[in-house]
Structure 1
Amino acid sequence: MKRLTLSTPSLITCASLLLTTPVLAGSPSSAHAAEPAHYAQRCQSHSPDRKHGPQGTMLWGTRRTWSSQQESDERRSVLVSVDLTAPLETDSQVEALQVKDGRLVASPDSSTSLVGTVLQGTSSDGKPVEVTVCGAEPAPEDPSMVWYHIEAWNPVAQEWENPCVATGRVPDPRALAVSGVWDASGAHHDVPGRFTLACETSVITKCINWGYKPWARHDGHSLAELHQACTRMARADYCGNGRSHTHEGTTIDMYDRFGLLSPTTEASADWDPSRASFEAAWETDGATCLSHTRDGRPMETILQECPERFQAKPGDERNCAVRREGTSHETALLRNQSYGEAMRAGSPPQGR
């Protein structure tokens, strides 16, 4: 089963810091007398204002801005990347880090705990942001991955807080360490020495939980491209420009070219195949074929948003209302179904 609801982390796969035992959040005491005064405040179980964000549209899963009064678009984040080299502060002998299969590994001693380590991060506007690791726990569904409890220094509130957006189902989101960085357009880049702390409520992490681990392989094929295509699909980023076209709680059904996931054929409380239809085909840079929009907006709005991308092909390739020249939805990395017209005509069952 893989009826996917974008308002919660998927359970389809039920689904390091490399730790021999789980290390939970603690109150580190620094051995460095010259550390900045606010470092002593980190990992103290602060209770910041938890706003329920637009789950299902978040690439990084983080707050867009530290100021609750400042409006910001979905292509911004208070934390888009983190530096692997030269921690700003550490309670252990950590000289550098590396990302390995969804976890952080300390150097020179890979068994070193990183709890209390302060790392140099960067926001979407290029400003530095301090990030600290407050705890870590191996993922029960895959012990090779590690969930991190993180905090970032909020320069507006002058306190440490979890930069991940909370939801009713995930009140204190954790994060995964993922190689490379994503820019405002949603494109992934392998940047030496930098990685992403992807929040539990982000589509980066959801696509990993759905089975597309970018560091894994299937039948000799890397899943990195499938993962990237999934981040476009999950957000309905048709134009490949970082803009989503979906709503919180929207249920979809996805399947891929390699057979890791296949179309759902049995009806259940949260998915009715008879009401669903093909929505789009996906590659790493967005949709290649589009039958209908997920949020119900007219197709003309998509053609206006990216006028050079699609051509109207009524009746072409069975389900494509618009298509990129030279592409075939049958050979795309990913495809998905959604309720489309049925969703606008009625009230489809909501996923879990």
Structure 2
Amino acid sequence: MKKSLVVCLLLQLPSLAQAGVPASARPAGQVSEAERYARRCQGSSGSRIARPQGTMLWGTKRDWNTEKVADERSSVLVSADLAPLRRAEGGVKALRLEGGHLVASPFSEAGAAPRDVVGTVLQGTNSGGKPVEVALCDAEPSAEDPGTVFYRIEAWNAVAQEWENPCVAVGRESNPRALAVSGVWDASGAHHDAPGKLTFACENGAITKCIQWGYKPWDRRDGKPLAELHQACTRMARADYCGNGRSHTHQGTTIDVYDRFGMVERGEWDPAKASFEAAWAPDGATCLARTRDGRELATLLQECPNRFQPDAAVVPGEGEGERCTVRRMNVRPEAALLRNLTFAAPKGAASAAKGP
């Protein structure tokens, strides 16, 4: 069924405690492994979640110290390993990812339930490559799609010596959940297939938002996987024009999202309220009419020189009002998978590019 979609963008130093070390030999304040696992999923640290940090990819905290100014491309948790498990309950020996949910073994052959995975602790990694453990505390199937399961997770903050929800709270949700998505995203915002690894994508980040908008990377349409469409969506959601992982949007900006396949169609367009912004491929914008945050195009192009060129021509097949100011060099128009309108008026007039 075709539909239209208007969305509102809402946008370290961890180390493993040493196992088996006598209490007298451990640094002051460091808890034992047994005590650490006993304290997981107790919900004792929800109040530590800080204020929103802008438009996010993973939806996670950039650093455990939420007052620290950290790069938007850093995260306390960027990936987790399916094996070996650090801890498990009820005889669970292994996990595997099936579409939008985790399945526990040996229960996978007979009536596996989402909650079979609860209590499991996986080995994760932060953006600095340091290890961080992550615990599965609850599993909640989506009301719209039972095959997609939201997980309440906690990661071990070795600095504070406690379990914390790594997801950033936005709006009224003080304890955000996460989806388990195959593969990993690097600091540039690029997705990589990585056997045995997954991403816990918080519901306030672009990875999960794009799934909720209908672009599930594990699904197929007309026999073709939606992974590239989902990846293009993560670039669009964060206004990552250059494909370098940097966002150019403000929290609360309203956009109209649509694609060339008819999965999501453009809503009724009122030029007085919205304007065409850009077309998107998996590695960033393919053409650009204006910036979402109002900065001048010439300023943006200095961020990624030799990527765009001035071109105000209307390309056949584009919709009403979809006239770009700059286009990607050596990229054909059909490379664009998604387009969007932006409703918020720019803070400053987006000028025609004069080159970097």
What TM-score range do you get, normalising by the shorter chain?
A: 0.7 to 0.9
| Residue 328 of structure 1: how far off its partner (Å) | 4.3
- Using the size of structure 2 for normalisation, the TM-score is 0.84
CA contact (8 A) 1:226 1:334 kept: yes
The alignment partner of 1:336 has SS state of strand
Question: Counterpart of 2:275?
Answer: 277
1:228-239 alignment, distance < 5 Å: 228-239=231-242
Question: Counterpart of 2:207?
Answer: 204
Alignment deviations for residues 68-121 of structure 1 (CA, whole Å, 9 cap, x no partner)? 342101100000000001110111222221111110111232226121111100
CA contact (8 A) 1:264 1:273 kept: no
Could you tell me how far apart the structure 2 residues matched to 1:90 and 1:186 are?
31
2:61 aligned with 1:63: yes
Could you tell me how far apart the structure 2 residues matched to 1:103 and 1:314 are?
45
The alignment partner of 1:205 has SS state of helix
Question: Counterpart of 1:48?
Answer: 47
Question: Counterpart of 2:217?
Answer: 214
Could you tell me how far apart the structure 1 residues matched to 2:241 and 2:135 are?
35
Give, as a single letter, the amino acid of the residue that structure 1 aligns with 2:147: S
1:308-327 alignment, distance < 5 Å: 308-315=306-313, 317=315, 319-327=323-331
Question: Counterpart of 1:114?
Answer: 117
Give, as a single letter, the amino acid of the residue that structure 2 aligns with 1:41: R
Question: Counterpart of 2:248?
Answer: 245
| Residue 314 of structure 1: how far off its partner (Å) | 3.8
- Structure 1 stretch displaced more, 181-190 or 34-43: 34-43
Could you tell me how far apart the structure 2 residues matched to 1:83 and 1:305 are?
34
Alignment deviations for residues 4-46 of structure 1 (CA, whole Å, 9 cap, x no partner)? 10127xxxxxxxxxxxxxxxxxxxxxxxxx9532111111121
Question: Counterpart of 1:262?
Answer: 265
- Using the size of structure 1 for normalisation, the TM-score is 0.85
- The count of corresponding residues between Structure 1 and Structure 2 is 314
Report the aligned-residue RMSD. 1.9
Could you tell me how far apart the structure 2 residues matched to 1:170 and 1:187 are?
28
Could you tell me how far apart the structure 1 residues matched to 2:128 and 2:329 are?
34
1:314–1:273 distance in 2 versus 1, CA, 3 Å: closer
- Structure 1 stretch displaced more, 97-106 or 320-329: 320-329
The alignment partner of 2:347 has SS state of helix
| Residue 274 of structure 1: how far off its partner (Å) | 3.5
Could you tell me how far apart the structure 2 residues matched to 1:210 and 1:52 are?
24
Question: Counterpart of 2:159?
Answer: 156
Question: Counterpart of 1:99?
Answer: 97
CA contact (8 A) 1:147 1:175 kept: yes
Alignment deviations for residues 305-348 of structure 1 (CA, whole Å, 9 cap, x no partner)? 000211122446461211112334465100111136x44379xx
Aligned counterpart for 1:335 among listed residues 323, 327, 339: 339
| Residue 196 of structure 1: how far off its partner (Å) | 0.4
1:279–1:49 distance in 2 versus 1, CA, 3 Å: same
CA contact (8 A) 1:64 1:77 kept: yes
Could you tell me how far apart the structure 2 residues matched to 1:89 and 1:124 are?
23
Tell me the percent identity.
61
| Residue 273 of structure 1: how far off its partner (Å) | 5.0
Could you tell me how far apart the structure 1 residues matched to 2:290 and 2:61 are?
30
Alignment deviations for residues 46-79 of structure 1 (CA, whole Å, 9 cap, x no partner)? 1332212134x10000000011342101100000
1:214–1:315 distance in 2 versus 1, CA, 3 Å: same
Give, as a single letter, the amino acid of the residue that structure 2 aligns with 1:54: Q
Give, as a single letter, the amino acid of the residue that structure 1 aligns with 2:188: S
- Structure 1 stretch displaced more, 249-258 or 215-224: 215-224
Could you tell me how far apart the structure 1 residues matched to 2:149 and 2:188 are?
27
1:146–1:222 distance in 2 versus 1, CA, 3 Å: same
| Residue 123 of structure 1: how far off its partner (Å) | 0.2
Residue ranges of structure 1 left out of the alignment (5+ in a row): 9-33, 267-271, 347-352
The alignment partner of 2:107 has SS state of coil
| Residue 256 of structure 1: how far off its partner (Å) | 0.4
2:1 aligned with 1:3: no
Question: Counterpart of 2:305?
Answer: 307
Question: Counterpart of 1:269?
Answer: none
Between Structure 1 and Structure 2, whose CA radius of gyration is higher? 2
Question: Counterpart of 2:27?
Answer: none
CA contact (8 A) 1:35 1:89 kept: no
Residue ranges of structure 2 left out of the alignment (5+ in a row): 12-31, 316-321, 350-356
Give, as a single letter, the amino acid of the residue that structure 2 aligns with 1:337: L
Alignment deviations for residues 191-212 of structure 1 (CA, whole Å, 9 cap, x no partner)? 0110001001111000000000
